[in-house]
Amino acid sequence: MTPSKEIESIAILKKTIVASRALSELKGAITNLPNPILFINTINLQEARARSAIENIITTQDELFKASIADKKKIILLQKR
């Protein structure tokens, strides 16, 4: 279904350019990290925390990281079977 009006405005295109540049800078910075996956996983955890907060579920950083580590340990144990 196509939108009822044009959504590509000059303002949106300008913001897209700014966002693209920021992503390029982030990509460059991540390549200098010893473990880029750790950084990306942290972003996913923060997003999960924000979603939980919307549902009035309060979670600490420690709880998030502990749950993430526990999930990874379970996956490793299942793979060894």
Burial class (CB in 10 A: 0-12, 13-18, 19+), 48: middle
- Which residue intervals of the chain are DSSP H helices? 10-31, 36-54, 61-80
Distance CA 40, CA 21 (A): 18
Give the global pTM. Answer: 0.47
Residue 56 has a pLDDT of: 81
Q: For residue 25, name the pLDDT band (cuts at 50, 70, 90).
A: very high
More confident position, 24 or 79: 24
**pLDDT over 90 (residue 21):** yes
List b or e across 35-45, with b for residues whose CB sees 16 or more CB atoms inside 10 angstroms.
Answer: eeeeeeeeeeb
List b or e across 51-69, with b for residues whose CB sees 16 or more CB atoms inside 10 angstroms.
Answer: eeeeeeeeeeeeebeeeee
